[in-house]
Amino acid sequence: MRILIANDDGIYSPGLAALAEVASRFGEVRIVAPDVEQSSMGHAITHSRPLAYRRTPQLRKFDAHRVNGTPADCVALGVFLWKDVDVVLSGINLGPNIGNGIWHSGTLAAAKQAALLGLRGIALSTPTGQSEPDFAALAPWVERVLELLLPEASLRLVNVNFPPNPKGMCWTRVSVRQYDGRVATMADPQGREVYWLTVRPIEETERGTDRWALQRDHVSITPLELDLTDHDALARVSERVRLDEPVLAEPPRATADVPVSEAAAEEEEAESEASAG
Ligand code: MN
């Protein structure tokens, strides 16, 4: 099994080394990770400048490469350079990725990028306190999770969060009822107001959610999907408000903002030349 490992904390994160160590018991590991921290970058990709990668021998046991890009870039590039990747693991993030945090998470984005490319993606995160997480203590739990998830080929995208001292593991859903983001106001050295986007702790949680599991010292395992369509709302509104039906006979047109590949453009050119001649 070929396992590509990425993260959003950067290639020198201890969480990435800990994950690579455990993952290497399950298959061939290659690391492609950002050269600097990219936390909360979400699913950004770099499109206005080129990407490059450098071999990173500091992660001695592993074939590791750092990229001047985002977590999603790393997966796109890693999958392009290393053929036949089976699964992408992202993490272990220093900080939880639960509830609405998954919208901002670069860790999740790396796993999502794998799913977009038709591969499997698993994101792994753990909270940090005053000190760094005890990755040696977590290692047996990481191994249990990989033992459980790697054979489950039907799970295409999974979000895993480890509490500091796990007592068990459970399947969960995303807790989205409360948003934990907030804006804190403070003064800069000149006394001018500046703002810091941060989070507030959420105490009450719904049973069965990722946050609920972590608060109860259980590893939270949430299967996710890429389809953001609200299928219930779609069914309701399309029944109530009839809109137009595209004519089926017409060939589908390419969406304007999707770049036409060079090959397709050349083909078109050749066709129009042929018809002109
Ligand atoms: Mn991070």
Specify the pTM: 0.87
Decide: helix, strand or coil at residue 134: coil
The predicted structure's pLDDT at residue 158: 98
Span from the CA of 104 to the centroid of ligand 1 (angstroms): 10
Tokens 């984005």 -> residue = 109
- The CA 96 to ligand 1 mean position distance, Å, reads 9
Distance 77 CA to ligand 1 centre (A): 19
Q: Report whether the peptide linkage leading into residue 92 is cis, meaning its omega lies within 30 degrees of zero.
A: yes
Spans of all domains in the chain: 2-176+205-223, 231-276
Q: How far is the CA of 48 from the centre of ligand 1 (A)?
A: 23
pLDDT at res. 33:
98
| Measured distance CA(45)–CA(66) in Å, rounded | 15
Per-residue pLDDT of the chain in tens (277 residues, 90 and over written 9): 999 999 999 999 999 999 999 999 999 999 999 999 999 999 999 999 999 999 998 888 999 999 999 999 999 999 999 989 999 999 999 999 999 999 999 999 999 999 999 999 999 999 998 889 999 999 999 999 999 999 999 999 999 999 999 999 999 999 988 888 899 999 999 999 999 998 888 878 899 999 999 999 999 999 999 999 999 999 999 999 999 988 877 776 777 665 555 555 555 555 555 554 4
Distance 7 CA to ligand 1 centre (A): 7
- The predicted pLDDT at position 264 comes to 55
Ligand 1 geometric centre to CA of 246 (Å): 44
Please tell me the distance between residue 220's alpha carbon and the centre of ligand 1 in angstroms: 18
Residue type, 103: W
Between the CA of 105 and the centroid of ligand 1 the distance, in Å, is 7
Going from the Cα of 106 to the center of ligand 1, the distance in angstroms, rounded, reads 7
Q: In CATH, which superfamily holds the domain spanning 2-176+205-223?
A: Survival protein SurE-like phosphatase/nucleotidase (3.40.1210.10)
pLDDT at 247: 82
93 CA to middle of ligand 1, Å? 5
Cα separation, 204 vs 206, whole angstroms: 7
Cα-to-centroid distance, 40 and ligand 1 (Å): 7
Q: How many residues can be counted in the chain?
A: 277
Compute, in angstroms, the gap from residue 167 CA to the centroid of ligand 1.
24
Tell me, in angstroms, the distance from the centre of ligand 1 to residue 184's CA: 21
Q: What is the pLDDT of residue 276?
A: 46
Give Cα separations from 149 to 18, 132, 222, 223 (angstroms).
18, 26, 11, 10
107 CA from centroid of ligand 1 (Å): 6
What's the gap in Å between 224 CA and the centre of ligand 1?
19
Residue 97 Cα to ligand 1 midpoint, Å, equals 9
Task: Kindly write down the DSSP assignment for every residue of 52-71, as one continuous string.
Answer: -EEE-TTSTTSEEEEESS-H
Q: What type of residue sits at position 59?
A: L
